[in-house]
C-alpha cells in the first residue's frame, strides 16, 4: 500500500501511517478509515438536504470503518500506538482501539467533530477516561495534550518528543519478552471486561449517531461550507467561537 508501511523486526511488526502531505489523514486505502478533507469537500448526493436521506447508507459506510478500527482492538496480539503531533477525529478511533497509547507530551488529542458533523463511532472515550472526562471532551470538542492524556489514564506514557521513540521502543521490547500465548490470553481477558460493560451496544449507537450528525441543520451547513470554501476554512469558522 502507498499510504502505510509494514515492517517486521523479530517478534515486533510495525504499521506506520505514511501520508505526511495530508498529516496522515486516513483514506479508504488506509484500511477502515477516511480523510475528512477529501470526504467533506466533495458533493455527496446523500448529503443534499433537498433529497431523501437513507440512514442505512451512512450506517453501512461507518460500520465498515468501525470494523477496521476495531480490528486493532480484536486482533489476537497487543497493539501499541505511538502518537505525535495532532491526533483528532478518526485518528482518535485508531488510538483508542489500540491496547496501549504512548504519546508525545506536547501532542494534541481529541474529537473536534463533536462540535458539528460527527460522533465517535468507536465510542471508547467513556471506557478509557471515565464518563465525566469523556463528557468534558465531547461536550466541547476540545483537545488535551499528551501530559493530560497520561494524567487522565488515556495514555500509558507521555514522553518529550525527543524521547518518544526511545520510550516507545522500550515498552514494545519489554512486551515482546512475553510468550505470544500469554499475550493473547491477557488481551482477551481484559477486552472481555469492556465488552461486559456494554461496548458493542454503545458502538452501535455511535455508528447511527455519526450518520445523523451529518444530517442535522448544523451538519448540512458545515458540509456545504466545506464544499464552498474548503474543509480547513469550514473548520476554522466552526471552531472560532471556542477559541480564547
Residue spans of the domains in the chain: they are: 4-238
Q: What is the mean pLDDT of residues 168-187?
A: 98
pLDDT reported for residue 18: 79
pLDDT reported for residue 45: 43
pLDDT reported for residue 25: 57
pLDDT reported for residue 196: 98
In the predicted structure, residue 22 carries a pLDDT above the cut 60: no
Range with lowest mean pLDDT among 54-68, 160-174, 193-207? 54-68
User: What is the CATH code for 4-238?
Assistant: 3.90.226.10
pLDDT reported for residue 31: 47
Helix axes 90-97, 55-74, angle to 10 degrees: 40
Q: What is the mean pLDDT of residues 157-172?
A: 98
- What are the grid coordinates assigned to 236, written together? 476554522
In the predicted structure, residue 184 carries a pLDDT above the cut 90: yes
pTM recorded for the entire structure: 0.89
Q: What is the mean pLDDT of residues 33-37?
A: 63
Angle ∠(30,206,156) on CA atoms, nearest 5: 65
pLDDT reported for residue 32: 45
Largest CA distance in the chain: 58
In the predicted structure, residue 42 carries a pLDDT above the cut 90: no
Compute the CA torsion angle 122, 127, 131, 137 (nearest 10 deg): -50
Residues forming beta bridges with residue 80, ordered by sequence position: 100
Helix (H, G, I), strand (E, B) or coil at 74: helix
What residues contact residue 146 under an 8 Å CB cut-off, 6+ apart? 83, 103, 104, 105, 106, 107, 108, 109, 155, 158, 159
Residue 142 or residue 23, greater confidence: 142
Q: What is the mean pLDDT of residues 90-110?
A: 97
In the predicted structure, residue 40 carries a pLDDT above the cut 50: yes
- Residue 69 CB: number of other CB atoms within 10 A? 26
Residues forming beta bridges with residue 83, ordered by sequence position: 103
Q: What is the mean pLDDT of residues 29-56?
A: 65
Could you tell me the pLDDT band of residue 33, with boundaries at 50, 70 and 90?
low
Amino acid at each position: 500500500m502507498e499510504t502505510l508501511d509494514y515492517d517486521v523486526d523479530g517478534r515486533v511488526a510495525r504499521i506506520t501511517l505514511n501520508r505526511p502531505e495530508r498529516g496522515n489523514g486516513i483514506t479508504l486505502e488506509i484500511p477502515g478509515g477516511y480523510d475528512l478533507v477529501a470526504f467533506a469537500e466533495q458533493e455527496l448526493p446523500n448529503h443534499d438536504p433537498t433529497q431523501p436521506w437513507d440512514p442505512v447508507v451512512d450506517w453501512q459506510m461507518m460500520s465498515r470503518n468501525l470494523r477496521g478500527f476495531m480490528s486493532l482492538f480484536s486482533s489476537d496480539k497487543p497493539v501499541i500506538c505511538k502518537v505525535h503531533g495532532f491526533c483528532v477525529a478518526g485518528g482518535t478511533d485508531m488510538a483508542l482501539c489500540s491496547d496501549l497509547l504512548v504519546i508525545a507530551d506536547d501532542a494534541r488529542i481529541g474529537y473536534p467533530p463533536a462540535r458539528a458533523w460527527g460522533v465517535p463511532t468507536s465510542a471508547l472515550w467513556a471506557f478509557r477516561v471515565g464518563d465525566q472526562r469523556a463528557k468534558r471532551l465531547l461536550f466541547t470538542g476540545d483537545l488535551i495534550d499528551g501530559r493530560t492524556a497520561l494524567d487522565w489514564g488515556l495514555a500509558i506514557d507521555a514522553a518529550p518528543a525527543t524521547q518518544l521513540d526511545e520510550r516507545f521502543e522500550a515498552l514494545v521490547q519489554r512486551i515482546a519478552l512475553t510468550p505470544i500465548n500469554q499475550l493473547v490470553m491477557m488481551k482477551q481477558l481484559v477486552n472481555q471486561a469492556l465488552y461486559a460493560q456494554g461496548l458493542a451496544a454503545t458502538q452501535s449507537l455511535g455508528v447511527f449517531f455519526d450518520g445523523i450528525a451529518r444530517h442535522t441543520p448544523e451538519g448540512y451547513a458545515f458540509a456545504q461550507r466545506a464544499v464552498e470554501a474548503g474543509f480547513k476554512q469550514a473548520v476554522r469558522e466552526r471552531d472560532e467561537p471556542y477559541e480564547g
